[in-house]
Amino acid sequence: MSPGKLVDLDRAAELVPDGCSLALGGLSLNTAPMAFCSALVRAGVRDLELISVVSGMSTDWLIGGGCVARLLMGLVSFEGFGLAPLFRRAAERGAIEVEEYSEHTMICMLQAAAAGVPFMPTRSGLGTDTIGRHPERTREVLDERSGQHYVACAALRPDVAVIHAHEADVHGNVRMLPKMVWFDTELVKAAARVIVTVERIVETASFRAAPERSAFPAFAVDHVVHAPRGAWPTGCWPEYEYDGAFYAAYQAAARDPQAFAELFAEHVGPLRWSGS
């Protein structure tokens, strides 16, 4: 089999240069490209502009790896397992710059980039403090013709987007089982370069046998990484669930600097920022 677009995790991490804008897929405790995050931490990537619409552990790991300069976010949470501890500390101490938007205005920014238009209009965000803090990204506009107010969400084009999926072939055809793509779709369509980490590499014939189940076409994907259990500790439904015991252990360790450094070194990589 020709390697095609197949690269290993460490090589893929090298495709993310210092200072670039990186968008990560996943939704809260579901299917984030965690093995890739860990590779970025090991590689010591710095000064990223991280774009995470609804995330938790992925953002926390990259902050711990000292990788993040600026974060564009809608929500960063461990839900029932509490607040993401490093995100919280880094924001409170000013160690990273945080730009908060909303889920839908971020989706609109990505859709504008995909469509090649300067902005996407929406009624989302009107009357809130999530718009107007960075008017170059989101601002309220009155449409003179209709008299309607809307929020203009400026195109946001990530340099690199990384998502995790179940299967791909070496050409970059990607399948999710079942097809659960949430806003990974917007990331793939908006980003200049797309990396997909997958549980399994499969033959192209299996895509031809069931094209209705494909999530992304080869022409939209630049690199494929074979990363079994690559979403851990988030879940990769229906193959494995989020690892609740790890979330709880991570949260408990975050109260003790030494225990946390050990846990981080064992499961993620070198801890470069913990705020303690």
Partner 1 sequence: MSDWTLDELVVTALASAFDDDIRAFNGAASFVPVAALMLARATHAPGLTWVAGSIAVDPRPAAIPESTLSDALWGEATMYQSSAFDFWPYAQSGRLNSFCFRGAQIDAYGNVNNSVIGEFERPKIRLPGGGGMADLGCLCERVFLWSTTHNPRTFVERLDFRSGLGYGDGPGHRERLGLRGGPDLCVTDLAVMDFHPTSRRMRLRSAHPGVSVEQIREATGFELIVEGDVPQTPPPTPEQVRLIRELDPTDARKREFSRS
Q: Which residues contact 7 (CB under 8 A, 6 or more apart)?
A: 15, 223, 224, 225
Nearer to partner 1, 66 or 74 (CB): 74
DSSP letter string, 82-96: -S-HHHHHHHHTTSS
Shortest reach from residue 129's CB to partner 1, in Å: 4
The answer to whether the CB of 227 falls within 8 A of the CB of 198 is yes
Nearer to partner 1, 75 or 202 (CB): 75
Enumerate binding residues for partner 1 (CB under 8 A): 27-30, 54, 73-77, 79-81, 83-84, 87-89, 91-94, 98, 100-105, 107, 122-131, 133, 147-149, 178-183, 185-186, 235, 237-238, 241-242, 244, 247
Q: Is 163 exposed, middle or buried (0-12, 13-18, 19+ CB in 10 A)?
A: buried
Nearer to partner 1, 56 or 65 (CB): 56
DSSP letter string, 9-54: HHHHHHTS-TT-EEEE--BTTB---HHHHHHHHHHT--SEEEEEEE
User: Dihedral sign, CA of 13, 18, 22, 27?
Assistant: positive
Containing H/E element for 251? helix 244-253
Shortest reach from residue 82's CB to partner 1, in Å: 9
Nearer to partner 1, 12 or 214 (CB): 214
Shortest reach from residue 229's CB to partner 1, in Å: 16
DSSP letter string, 73-134: EEEE--GGG-S-HHHHHHHHTTSSEEEE--HHHHHHHHHHHHHT-SEEEESTTTTSTTSSSS
Shortest reach from residue 133's CB to partner 1, in Å: 7
Shortest reach from residue 76's CB to partner 1, in Å: 6
Nearer to partner 1, 182 or 232 (CB): 182
Nearer to partner 1, 37 or 96 (CB): 96
Nearer to partner 1, 9 or 231 (CB): 231
Shortest reach from residue 29's CB to partner 1, in Å: 4
Convert 18-40 to b/e letters by CB count within 10 Å (16 or more is b): eebbbbbbbbbbbbbbbbbbbbb
Shortest reach from residue 116's CB to partner 1, in Å: 17
